[in-house]
Amino acid sequence: MKTEKSKAVAKIGQLSENDLKALELANIIPKGTPSAQVQIFATVCKEKGLSPFQRQIYLLPFNKKEGDKWVTHYANITGIDGYRTIAERTGKYAGSDDPIFNDIKTEFLCRAEKLQHPETATVTVHKLVAGQRVPFTATAGWLSYLPGEKKRFNWDRMPFLMLGKVAEALALRKAFPEALSGVHVEEERGGFEEIKDVEAVETNEASLKILQKYKGELDKITISDKMKKEAKDIISKAVKEGLSPQHSKELSDYGNKKYLELKETEATVTKQINANE
């Protein structure tokens, strides 16, 4: 007969009632998850050798529209380190290259050009095949994986890191399909979740129109001192008109970039005038 202690100490893939309660409280298994989905999750934990108790894997609910109804689906999620661990266990993982953005550029070069975010990220993963180190390359597009506005804080804060993780996950899954099937990294969420709140989409589109309008207002300023004085008023007007926080930052960054360009132009002109004198 099993003791209470032995019941509570469950193996991965053999979740006791106590385990389920603990994982639900920790939101590893979302409250209300169907029992069949919990069993699938437990099986995946066992097959992949990942512990939900250490948050190496968890269930992520997401929405998809089926006909006229929104239906909740679930994805088994691990981190990029979990992906690497699973690949490493095959004994054939031979490392990966750093992400390349927009076809040929490193993150450093993109940031030097003051790009807000990459359009694409490409990662190459290497696998030992018949003793040879073979490359597997995958590319992820920004618009294909960018999540809805309410879930994109990290994408706005760390755009290159987030898209790079998606590209690496795609490359790892291409190299190790059997080991990694049925598991995703959370950064892929935007690729399979549909935005349920149509109003939020419309609001975002309206904000984009406001952003473009007031970028045009900033473009009309041709003197740096005038830019310094008027940019705040222009941004304030845009916010009052409905500009989102994310687009407010983009407009502010655009104003700063414009100011620096004007300063540089003015300095060049002054230098030329002084040289002619």
- DSSP label at 3? -
User: How confident is the model at residue 83, as a pLDDT?
Assistant: 92
Residues 15 and 41 in one domain: yes
Kindly tell me if the per-residue pLDDT of 197 is higher than 60.
no
Kindly tell me if the per-residue pLDDT of 141 is higher than 90.
yes
User: How confident is the model at residue 1, as a pLDDT?
Assistant: 42
Question: Would you place residue 14 in the very low, low, confident or very high pLDDT band (cuts 50, 70, 90)?
Answer: low
Kindly tell me if the per-residue pLDDT of 57 is higher than 80.
yes
Tokens at 182, concatenated: 């049925």
User: How confident is the model at residue 47, as a pLDDT?
Assistant: 87
Query: How far, in Å, CA of 47 to CA of 191, rounded?
Result: 25
Q: How many domains does the chain have?
A: 3
Any domain includes 243: yes
Tokens at 39, concatenated: 């069993």
The pLDDT tens digits of the residues spanning 158-184 come to 999 999 999 999 999 999 999 998 899
Least confident of 10-24, 167-181, 214-228: 10-24
Domain boundary among 44, 77, 110: 77
Nearest to 211 by CA among 244, 166, 180, 174: 244
Q: Answer whether 175's CB lies under 8 Å from 67's CB.
A: no
Query: How far, in Å, CA of 143 to CA of 152, rounded?
Result: 12
The pLDDT tens digits of the residues spanning 70-129 come to 888 899 999 898 899 999 999 999 999 999 999 888 888 888 888 889 999 999 999 999
Element (H, E) at 181: none
Tokens at 202, concatenated: 């419309």
Any domain includes 3: no
Any domain includes 113: yes
Residues 70 and 88 in one domain: no
User: How confident is the model at residue 195, as a pLDDT?
Assistant: 57
Domain coverage including residue 240:
199-276
For the chain, the distance separating the N- and C-terminal CA atoms, rounded to the nearest angstrom, is 100
Question: Would you place residue 12 in the very low, low, confident or very high pLDDT band (cuts 50, 70, 90)?
Answer: very low
User: How confident is the model at residue 164, as a pLDDT?
Assistant: 95
Question: Would you place residue 9 in the very low, low, confident or very high pLDDT band (cuts 50, 70, 90)?
Answer: very low
User: How confident is the model at residue 202, as a pLDDT?
Assistant: 56
The pLDDT tens digits of the residues spanning 33-56 come to 998 899 899 888 888 888 888 888
User: How confident is the model at residue 132, as a pLDDT?
Assistant: 94
Any domain includes 230: yes
Residue 226 vs residue 199, higher pLDDT: 226
Any domain includes 1: no
User: How confident is the model at residue 179, as a pLDDT?
Assistant: 92
Domain boundary among 196, 229, 244: 196
Residues 93 and 175 in one domain: yes
